[in-house]
Amino acid sequence: MRVTKHEHAALTLEESGSTLVIDPGAFTDPLYDLGEVAGIVVTHEHPDHWTADHLERILKMSPGTPIYGPAGVAAAAAGFDVIVVDPGDTLELGPFRLRFFGGRHEVIHSSLPVVDNVGVLVNDVFYYPGDSYAVPSGVDVQLLAAPLGAPWLKIGDAIDFVLAVKPRQAFGTHDMTLSVLGRDMHRSRLRWATEQNGGEFVALDPGDSTDV
């Protein structure tokens, strides 16, 4: 399975000629040449993880593509047919098996509402938590997409998250709020965390891919 990082939090996964799109949001350039799109996963309702323009563009290229997300996404994207998923749900989507974890976005501030969020495990090997530190317990994660920077993120908590997941490989995502210097500094912290359990950290820039 090939995993490609795009700007900010957007990811595409390719397997057996099908593509899974995750979190195409406001900081992400338009996604083209996706081939046969099996589905779209939106981890939560914040606009840096989805926009109507992105969804409409993908649906125009691949009509009938199902969209999955928690209840908050279904409410925010009311003009789209979002299939609600909850932590503990499992579904088969072409060559992709999806399992969902977590349930809530990390706290940004007490003055702001905490929204629904799901982490997604794909084919029992790749995990992306959305905007959370939800650990997929009992899972041997081969590749982790670990958030690098956000209003809700303290790098010490991100380090602890990687230490808890113990991935064989990891790369940084959710990084458009960081300067290049800040991104590289946070990458080095998560590299250290990944290596503590014998894993390897891979530095992926937008458009870069790795196989799992």
H, E, C per residue of 172-184: EECCCCCCHHHHH
Mean pLDDT in residue range 153-169: 98
Listed in sequence order, the residues at least 6 apart from 12 whose beta carbon sits closer than 8 Å to its beta carbon are: 3, 4, 6, 19, 20, 21, 22, 31, 34
Residue 175, pLDDT score: 98
Residue 1, pLDDT score: 98
Residue 196, pLDDT score: 98
Q: Going by DSSP bridges, is the β-strand pair 169-173/200-201 parallel, antiparallel, or unpaired?
A: parallel
Going by the DSSP 8-state scheme, the letter that residue 62 receives in this structure is: S
Residue 39, pLDDT score: 98
What tokens were used for 165?
A: 């997941």
Mean pLDDT in residue range 111-121: 97
Dump pLDDT digits (tens) for 56-106: 999 999 999 999 999 999 999 999 999 999 999 999 999 999 999 999 999
What tokens were used for 77?
A: 């994207």
Q: Which of 67, 74, 48 is nearest to 174 (CA)?
A: 48
Report the mean per-residue pLDDT for the chain. Answer: 97
Residue 177, pLDDT score: 95
Angle, vertex CA 178, rays to CA 54 and CA 14, nearest 5: 40
Residue 121, pLDDT score: 98
Residue 73, pLDDT score: 98
Q: Which of 96, 36, 82, 43 is nearest to 63 (CA)?
A: 36
Mean pLDDT in residue range 8-23: 98
Dump pLDDT digits (tens) for 25-49: 999 999 999 999 999 999 999 999 9
Residue 150, pLDDT score: 97
Please give the span between the terminal C-alpha atoms of the chain, in angstroms, as a whole number.
5
Dump pLDDT digits (tens) for 126-151: 999 999 999 998 999 999 999 999 99
Write out the H or E segment, with its range, that includes residue 53. helix 52-61
Longest Cα separation, the chain: 45
Dump pLDDT digits (tens) for 163-182: 999 999 999 999 999 999 99
CB count within 10 Å of CB 167 equals: 25
Task: Check: pTM over 0.85? Answer yes or no.
Answer: yes
Rounded distance between C-alpha atoms, residue 82 and residue 80, angstroms: 6
